[in-house]
Homo-oligomer: A and B are copies of this chain.
């Protein structure tokens, strides 16, 4: 169990709204984001992209562009010596040498003395294409006669997975009720405010320094080193402030980084590149689209007996992280409730569309839309209160789920109770619709990289008695730095403002998997706690050596039995003198408990799990189908909350984003071409659109997370689509099964209902 010292209690309560220094740069407009970067002598890079969804490149003429004044170099795929690479599947090149697979595919790149010249030079590059038949639909793509996007992937299936747990056949045979549905979810873009930007600097030792704000700099660094065939220590990533990421910047944009690095290596000068908003939409890596066929077996009392899912995710032209996302989408939701039998068939299919990647929650929110709609459909049929049905089936502490997840702390039932209580589940307003949804999300994957299951941190006592903390975990707005300062402050008995957190330079910080899988607070924070505790021990030992008596540390003061006191500054100077300039440093390594994970991926995949239940209240205009979302109550078990302000901020932002995804957003295509590639056409919610959001925290005390904390950043979005779908169904009398839930689709339900009456 976690220590519950007075310091822990006090810090978590009095300093609960502490914010790190970077936050102030943002609110005062002084933050330097990636797009703001300027380096002396810097060139500007631009990319020429395919205008065809599918074609062979027959010839590229670059001579006119190369001759243009101000142009320093032009690169095409045939200039590159690198091999195809990928995050999961090696299926793409920074610049495609001969085969383009979507409108936006990278064909050539220019570096010039300014932005405009680089842009103009693109027009002077002549590409001769032989167009090929293209395929845009995942169903058509799997047909034998369909054009094949990649060698070695017959039927354009990039990845497939089939899982059976328990005995689904008998579950469905013995069921009192089977409900089923078919759900469609389009591609979504995280729509961070700052498009991906970078400056690559070719270093004199042959290496590359990449200035870019990315959620997982060390993983990007590994990939750059691999593709550029550089020793890892010759690649350095330095991070400016990040203007939003939401999972879409776990890897940022690898092709952009690679191209700027190659242009810099070619010219010997720094090269800045930045996606336009249109490029973000048409050549970024949005969330996979999904078709879900699902059926559920229940007993008459509402007990869940089994679930079957047939999932097809749309990969677009290249795979990026889509296999992993598809896997989470297919499985994670199975662990929200006790479901003894599961059968899942999932395929990820290539099409000639924008390649896909990942988004906050790794597809879990997409599955939630289907799973939670189906539960309410069943509840309706069985005439059981949806809350009651969920409470009857939801996972509880100490259980092991159908995929082997070992649930330690778990406040899901309490979240369900609190969210419904707060929304007025039993005191409904007339004409309003109410919906409920529940979620689990892994906090701190231990299977992502078998060689790096945990995290580490380094923490030093500076000469002025302040503390420097070095961590590879990234703060890009979610408040990691503030929380880490608080965690270290607890261990060292001082104010969090005395701790400076450094995380943005791969040369300086321990290797980390970065901001993904809700591992920052849980795994990263635990490493911080251990490092701070190690430093605390060293401070005590050094003080004792300094004054020649045993000492104790209490309330940030160190004193001996005889009453002698020393402060941190004195200890720091003493050690500095003794070592000719070193600082007292604690290194902390958090290595999570070993967990089994078999070939079928059965096992405990994470350090711990967070839970949530959201309740939504909506109203529908019976004439037009127009939807008003009045309120979303978001009850969360993310363990002990270290920083209430940041945690609430995560909920406000994540629920707002979930609302956008559920009701407003989604890619539209026209012959494979993105039809809404601007923020004018792809509508994300404005402050006026966002419903009233109420965060509630069910603070369990997790045995693994630092001082009981668990992750929150991704799960905040997961229950939103399901809660809204169910609230809309409650008001409209039927489920919208295609995201987003628009007035048009609601109107169709109202019309059908009207017709049926």
Footprint of B on A, CB under 8 Å? 21-25, 28, 30, 32, 36-41, 203-205, 225, 231-234, 268-269, 451-456, 458, 462-466, 468, 472, 500, 502, 507-508, 510-512, 527, 573, 576-583, 587, 589-591
Contacts and interface: CB of A to CB of B under 8 A. Distances in A.
Contacts of A472: 581
A233 B456 contact: no
A534 B233 CA distance: 21
B268 A577 contact: no
A25 B204 contact: yes
Given A268-B30, A508-B507, A451 B577 contact: yes
B30 A40 contact: no
Contacts of A582: 456, 458, 510-511, 587, 589
21 contacts: A21-B205, A25-B204, A30-B268, A30-B269, A32-B39, A36-B41, A38-B39, A38-B40, A231-B465, A232-B462, A232-B463, A451-B577, A452-B580, A455-B581, A456-B579, A456-B581, A456-B582, A507-B508, A510-B583, A579-B589, A580-B591
A21 B203 CA distance: 8
A207 to B, nearest CB: 9
A30 B269 CA distance: 7
A58 B462 CA distance: 43
Given A37-B40, A39-B38, A233-B462, A580 B455 contact: yes
Contact of A40 (B36, B458, B500, B581): B36
B590 A580 contact: yes
A466 B30 contact: no
A454 B582 CA distance: 11
Nearest to A456: B581
A472 B511 CA distance: 23
A464 B233 contact: yes
A579 B582 CA distance: 22
A747 B582 CA distance: 58
B231 A451 contact: no
Given A32-B41, A456-B581, A468-B507, 7 more contacts: A25-B204, A30-B268, A232-B464, A232-B466, A451-B573, A455-B580, A512-B581
Q: Lowest 10 CB-CB distances: which A-B pairs, in order?
A: A454-B580, A233-B462, A511-B581, A231-B464, A21-B205, A232-B464, A579-B589, A21-B204, A456-B581, A36-B40
Nearest to A221: B463
Given A38-B40, A456-B580, A502 B507 contact: yes
Contacts of A579: 456, 587, 589, 591
Contacts of A456: 579-582
A204 B32 contact: no
Given A579-B456, A581-B511, A233 B500 contact: yes
A527 B468 CA distance: 23
Contacts of A578: 589, 591
A32 B582 CA distance: 29
Contacts of A38: 38-40
Contacts of A590: 580
A115 to B, nearest CB: 15
A373 to B, nearest CB: 40
A252 B697 CA distance: 55
A186 B455 CA distance: 61
A576 B511 contact: yes
A9 to B, nearest CB: 27
Contacts of A455: 580-581
A578 B507 CA distance: 20
Nearest to A35: B40
A263 to B, nearest CB: 15
Contact of A463 (B22, B30, B268, B511): B511
Nearest to A505: B508
A377 B587 CA distance: 64
Nearest to A471: B581
Nearest to A29: B268
Contacts of A22: 204
Contacts of A502: 507
A129 to B, nearest CB: 38
A40 B31 CA distance: 10
Nearest to A32: B40
A301 to B, nearest CB: 46
A32 B269 CA distance: 11
Nearest to A455: B580
A14 to B, nearest CB: 20
Contacts of A454: 580-581
Contact of A452 (B28, B231, B233, B577): B577
A582 B507 CA distance: 12
A39 B465 CA distance: 30
Contacts of A204: 21-25, 28, 30
A76 B17 CA distance: 39
Contacts of A576: 451-452, 511
A431 to B, nearest CB: 49
A205 B203 CA distance: 31
A268 B28 contact: yes
A636 to B, nearest CB: 27
A231 B497 CA distance: 12
B577 A581 contact: no
A453 B30 contact: no
Contacts of A205: 21, 500
A39 B231 CA distance: 29
Contacts of A30: 41, 204, 268-269
Nearest to A585: B587
A568 B21 CA distance: 39
Nearest to A31: B204
Highest count of chain B CB atoms <10 Å: which of A28, A37, A468, A579: A579
Contacts of A268: 28, 30
A527 B581 CA distance: 10
A510 B502 CA distance: 16
A512 B589 CA distance: 29
A204 B27 CA distance: 11
A264 to B, nearest CB: 11
